A and B are shown apart, each in its own frame.
Chain A
């Protein structure tokens, strides 16, 4: 018995296949979900993957959030289901108000693609329990609208409640406020981040690591965290 983790595909999504693969590598059942469906097909958790849903028209995530499947995702998230938004998926989570703040264009205006070091600031969320607080991990980052912004009160609240889940280390690649790379909701079941853990789950296809070129698998624990948590509660 294992956990069923759904991955939503919107028109313009790019990283759904990698996210499904990451779920399988972590030992879960990967379930493709379609934006126009309203059923989550009895999954135990949902990943909103990266890409450019609806071409990022209007604002990144702004149209995707009105997809039929998002009503089900919001209901499930409010009921405690683990939901992970990666990059464009994070933008969708902010547009649908499951997470506070928003992403604007990178400070330097360029698309950026690099292996990025992050510090795990909260190892108690549904997607980070297999890390330890303070762990530094390296996963790919690739975005144009990655600058996390929120008003000062919201930022203070996030900091005060330990809801900054990840922070950029060494280099802030997009001008995000307070080096924030990812956040969680108060309950810890909904997590969003700009970098891509699903691209760092399989030796040979990940970022470079001390082991050698492309060997980095630091992102795998996102998925094993969710699966382990779900099985423990089953």
Chain B
């Protein structure tokens, strides 16, 4: 068993209203020095068996076609981790 992490972020040129609200809340709560925040999503996909190149390719495909909407989001990272490392 392995897990593949997929990180999806709003595109840099797209305004991120949630991240903006988080950023201003942090400042308001006195967490000094945090310039701004952006908020994305992390998916943890549990893989049955070995993570071959083919499996990884399928996951990348799913990340682009389903887990993100390329109009507003980028898949910024796809990483394989062992179960114990989570």
Contacts and interface: CB of A to CB of B under 8 A. Distances in A.
A149 B69 CA distance: 12
Interface stretch (B9-17, B27-35, B50-58, B75-83): B9-17
A100 B71 CA distance: 8
A147 B71 CA distance: 13
A170 B72 CA distance: 27
A151 B17 CA distance: 17
User: What's the interface size class on B, roughly?
Assistant: 10 to 19
A72 interface: no
A59 B66 CA distance: 10
B1 interface: no
Interface in B1-41: 10, 13-15, 17-18, 21
Interface residues of A, number: 19
A105 B77 CA distance: 23
Contact of A107 (B10, B15, B66): B15
Contacts of B69: 59, 62, 95, 102
A109 interface: yes
Interface in A37-95: 58-59, 62, 94-95
A149 B14 contact: yes
